[in-house]
Amino acid sequence: MIAPIESAGQGALWLLVGLPAVVGAALCLAGRRLDRAAVPVALATATAGVGLAVAVAVGRPVVSAPFVADTPFGLAVDPLSALVVGTVTTITLLVLVFAAADVTSSRARFFGLMLLFAAAVAVTATATTLPALLLAWEVMGATSYALIGFWWHDDTRVAAGATAFLTTRTADLGLYAAAAAALAGGAGLALADLPAASAGWRHVVAAGVLVAALGKAAQMPFSFWLSRAMEGPSPVSALLHSAAMVAMGGYLLLRTAPLLAVTGWAGSAAAWAGALTALLLGAVAVAQRDLKQLLAASTAAQLGFVVLAAGLAAVAGGAAHLVAHAATKALLFLAAGAWLSALGTKRLTALRGVARRWPFVGVAATVGTLSLAGIAPLSLWATKDEVLAAARAESTLLYVVGLAGAAVSAAYAGKVMFAVWRRPPRGVEDDWDEERPGTRHIGAVEQAPLFENAGGGCG
């Protein structure tokens, strides 16, 4: 009975990455001809993805296929990838449910791109070889460009997508350098074998991986691209900033933590990059007057704790923080998107009192902001505490910087809560509709995903 069970698990893993890729490509190629069918097809595919994620988490399959340089296209599910894949597929489904009400034009292209994006993230999370990782990394970057600039007729949005793509693409060259160095150093292209590269080449491999991961995770000095990504539709922001592309930078460092540790310097470099990003981008978030820009800066800041954990080889704490942040940030971006659709603005002064107007959305967003602030017993409180405990054991100064970053997160979360719950002044309506005409309505379909993500924020 073992062989059929293993075969079923391997089939589930191939379907997990192949089904959204095939369906997404078909929707993109069909264009407007499948606009009416795009929503049910995409939701059915995403729902199947959740089920497949559960199946591979139980079966822990390993698969491979011939690929390049005598290295297979390798995928595998272990405890870390099972946790991340389950998170990605669940949040993808919730975001697509919200998008069903929020995105009303070019639906086949939008949902097709979102499924291709999700498929690339799934491959990234399960890849065991650098060629498989590189393929997924490239597709993830290309689809993010197409999604950020989804409204292609707007030059500003297309330029924003180009900025995000070119910045991360430049950092991505680090992965190619790492692959070349791994071959030169005799380690091969399996991720697990990278620490075995010869001493000199090992440092090049670690540097390449570190640069690529910091670029994707919008850590300093690459953080600036993330604010431009806010030009995309709200569901894109919710997925890209929570469980998908940005999170994958932190995930790659968690996956390669043994490589960082064995070099003697890369782990410390990652830890300090994460701690400083948590502090400085947190300060940037406090200064923001636009809700989505505040959330963007806070994404980089919160991913800083994941990068800090990876540098300290605190993989369990970093993975827990990545998952908790994914649920929390998806919730907050979807709430921001709902308010933008309803009132036509995301400026904090114009959103004063919006939580009073739609209490369900307001309460759900409050759960997210309290978790973001690190308030006990919500999920990000526990995960930050675990990461900071690892930092304290390593370096007092590193701990102090990380602790300051955690304190700043309470400041920007408090700023959001104060704005959305404060009694609105007379004439606040004059500031609405500054970006687009608001509907003055938030429907049940848009509110449903908020409930599920609020549960994740409670942890």
DSSP string, 157-218: HHHHHHHHHHHHHHHHHHHHHHHHHHHHTT--SBGGGGGGS-HHHHHHHHHHHHHHHHHHTT
Residue 262 structure tokens: 């064995």
The pTM score is 0.94
- Low-confidence winner among 25-29, 226-230, 287-291, 368-372 (lowest mean pLDDT): 226-230
- Average pLDDT value for residue range 174-192: 94
Tell me: pLDDT of 16 over 60: yes
CA distances from 362 to 1, 33, 95, 354 (A): 51, 38, 18, 7
Tell me: pLDDT of 2 over 80: no
The helix, strand and coil proportions of the chain, stated in percent and rounded to the nearest 5, come to 80, 5, 20
- Please tell me the number of Cα atoms within 13 Å of 315 on its side-chain side: 17
What is the structure's pLDDT at 6? 65
Tell me the DSSP string of 267-280: HHHHHHHHHHHHHH
- Average pLDDT value for residue range 402-419: 95
- Average pLDDT value for residue range 289-299: 94
- Reported as a pLDDT band with limits 50, 70 and 90, residue 454 is low
- Average pLDDT value for residue range 113-129: 97
The rounded mean pLDDT for the chain is 92
What is the structure's pLDDT at 5? 57
What is the structure's pLDDT at 411? 96
Separation CA 411–CA 285 (nearest Å): 9
Tell me the DSSP string of 414-446: HHHHHHHHSPPPTTGGGGTTSSS---S---HHH
- Average pLDDT value for residue range 272-300: 95
Residue 231 structure tokens: 């030009």
- Reported as a pLDDT band with limits 50, 70 and 90, residue 247 is very high
- Average pLDDT value for residue range 117-133: 96
- Reported as a pLDDT band with limits 50, 70 and 90, residue 436 is confident
What is the structure's pLDDT at 13? 96
- Low-confidence winner among 29-33, 40-44, 190-194, 352-356 (lowest mean pLDDT): 29-33
Tell me: pLDDT of 456 over 80: no
- Residue 71 three-state SS: strand
More confident residue, 172 or 455: 172
Q: Is the dihedral of CA 177, 222, 379, 116 positive or negative?
A: negative
What is the structure's pLDDT at 1? 42
More confident residue, 158 or 126: 126
Question: Tell me: the pLDDT tens digits for 310-344?
Answer: 999 999 999 999 999 999 999 999 999 999 999 99
Question: Tell me: the pLDDT tens digits for 66-77?
Answer: 888 678 999 999
Residue 433 structure tokens: 């509709």
What is the structure's pLDDT at 75? 97
What is the structure's pLDDT at 174? 95
Q: Are 150 and 232 in contact (CB under 8 A)?
A: yes
- Reported as a pLDDT band with limits 50, 70 and 90, residue 453 is low
Separation CA 301–CA 234 (nearest Å): 20
Tell me: pLDDT of 21 over 80: yes
- Average pLDDT value for residue range 216-241: 88
What is the structure's pLDDT at 227? 83
418-429 burial string, b = 16+ CB within 10 Å, else e?
A: ebbbbebeeebe
Tell me: pLDDT of 112 over 80: yes
